[in-house]
Amino acid sequence: MREITLSQAVNEAIAEEMRRDPTVFLMGEDVAEAGTPFKVLSGLVEEFGTQRVIDTPISEPGFVGMAVGAAMTGARPIVDLMFGDFLYLVMDQLCNQAAKQHYMSGGKLTVPMVLRTNLGATRRSAAQHSQSLQALVAHIPGLKVAMPSSAYEAKGLMKTAIRDNNPVVIFEDKLMYQDKAPVPEEEYLIPFGEAHIKRAGRDITLIATSSMVQVAEKAAGLLAGEGIEAEVIDPRTIVPLDEASLIASVRKTSRAIVIDEGHQSYGVTAEIAARLNEKAFYHLDAPVLRMGAMDVPVPFSPALEDLTVPTPERVVAQARRLCAGELIHAA
């Protein structure tokens, strides 16, 4: 199978859906000729024109609000939020407006829009361009949240998001845009709420999102050398969450670490760990561990920044302790 980059995968997904459905359009800062700073959208304006690939002023609440209105009245906008950190700027439009219209109207209004943005630290971009804020939006009923872990998922999830009748936030890891993966030439979609077992194992489950799937896979490789067989599961969407697959895995392995690059406290890892405790408690041989980003603003200095995110080595260390029974009585 051919291999393409995550960036190309996103580009292909959007182009295919724009060809298929004339109501799909794209708007955001520098999305047209510039194709975004990451060049993910290069070439789209040449094919679809400036009517459907719209460069906006630097007005995030304004253009996200406009996407909500366009979606409520018959279009399918994809808004590009250049950095995930800018979510704080658009919270009212996303969480008070987009997320609630369907419910507040008793099911009459729908908001079929996609907000594509990114996450991920270690790009030496400091505290306001490095955050992973998926927990913020996953907390809001009415929003769906997708977190592709490779080019394959990026394409299939984007196409599903565009066809979904709800507001969907997609987080791409900005460090993965040039990572290649096998992606079929023929069309495919990835349904929301279906986790994918990346690697099967019997001793411990590593549940990981986005680029943390790579971290988990590397950790699983290292653990195999020590005789520990780790199962790696990617939920692919955290809303909806394929709870059943996660629970089934943990019932089998009886141990779990949940890895996500958002801040650890009150985060995605905490939510998943809580559900495992509620629904797989009697199958657990050890507490479910969370591994998120440290609860600090992302520092600039590489010497500090690299300490703040989960790494394969740290995952291995924790998995080893779990499997050895060291954490059973941990305070």
Partner 1 sequence: MADARKDNDVKTNAEDYLRMYRQMVRIRTFEDNANQLYLSAKMPGLTHMYSGEEAVAVGICEALTDDDRITSTHRGHGHCVAKGAAFKEMFCELLGKEEGYCRGKGGSMHIADQSHGNLGANAIVGGSMGIATGSALRAKLLGSDDVTVCFFGDGATAQGLMYEVMNMAALWKLPVIYACENNGYSEYTRTDEIAAGSITARAEAFGIEAHQVDGQDVLAVNALTRRLVERARKGEGPFFMELMTYRYHGHHVGDINREYYRSKEEEKDWKENRDPIIRFRAWLVAEGIASEAEIEAMNAAITEDAAQAVAHAEAAPYPDASEVDMHVYAD
Catalytic positions are: 60, 129
**Contact track, partner 1, 109-128, x by CB under 8 A:** xx-x----------------
Span near partner 1 by CB under 8 A; candidates 102-110, 207-215, 246-254, 318-326: 102-110
Torsion from C-alpha of 56, 62, 65, 67, nearest 10 degrees:
-10
Distance of CA 36 to the CA centre of its chain: 19
Residues sharing a CB contact under 8 Å with residue 124, sequence separation 6 or more, in sequence order: 300, 302, 305
Q: Name the residue nearer to partner 1 (CB basis): 56 or 254.
A: 56
Minimum distance of partner 1 from residue 192's CB (angstroms): 10
- HSE-CB at 130 with a 13 A cutoff on CA atoms is 21
18 contacts partner 1 (rule: CB under 8 A): no
Q: Name the residue nearer to partner 1 (CB basis): 63 or 152.
A: 63
Q: Name the residue nearer to partner 1 (CB basis): 102 or 255.
A: 102
73, 185, 303, 331: which one binds partner 1 (CB under 8 A): 73
Span near partner 1 by CB under 8 A; candidates 18-26, 151-159, 176-184, 286-294: 18-26
Span near partner 1 by CB under 8 A; candidates 104-112, 174-182, 214-222, 267-275: 104-112
- Helix ranges (H only) for the chain are 6-20, 44-52, 60-72, 91, 101-104, 134-138, 151-163, 212-224, 243-253, 268-280, 302-305, 312-323
Residues sharing a CB contact under 8 Å with residue 80, sequence separation 6 or more, in sequence order: 26, 27, 28, 29, 31, 36, 41, 116, 117
Nearest Cα to 56, choosing from 89, 23, 16?
89
Minimum distance of partner 1 from residue 100's CB (angstroms): 8
- Separation in Å, CA 113 to CA 24, 89, 203: 9, 18, 41
- Mode of pairing for the β-strands spanning 180-182 and 3-5: antiparallel
Residues constituting the chain: 331
Phi first, then psi: give them for residue 230, nearest 5 degrees.
-95, 140
33 contacts partner 1 (rule: CB under 8 A): no
The Cα 47–Cα 35 span in angstroms is 12
7, 102, 145, 267: which one binds partner 1 (CB under 8 A): 102
Q: Name the residue nearer to partner 1 (CB basis): 112 or 292.
A: 112
319 contacts partner 1 (rule: CB under 8 A): no
86 contacts partner 1 (rule: CB under 8 A): no
- 269 neighbors 298 (Cβ within 8 angstroms): no
Angle at which helix 6-20 crosses helix 151-163, to 10 degrees, equals 30
2, 107, 282, 329: which one binds partner 1 (CB under 8 A): 107
Span near partner 1 by CB under 8 A; candidates 17-25, 129-137, 255-263, 277-285: 17-25
165 contacts partner 1 (rule: CB under 8 A): yes
Say which residue the tokens 């709800």 belong to.
Answer: 166
33, 104, 202, 313: which one binds partner 1 (CB under 8 A): 104
**What angle is formed at CA 96 by the lines to CA 93 and CA 100, rounded to 5 degrees?**
115
List binders of partner 1 among 135-154 (CB under 8 A).
141-142, 144
Span near partner 1 by CB under 8 A; candidates 6-14, 55-63, 267-275, 299-307: 55-63
Interface with partner 1 (CB under 8 A) = 22-23, 25, 51-52, 56-57, 59, 61-75, 77, 92-93, 96-97, 101-110, 112, 141-142, 144, 165-166
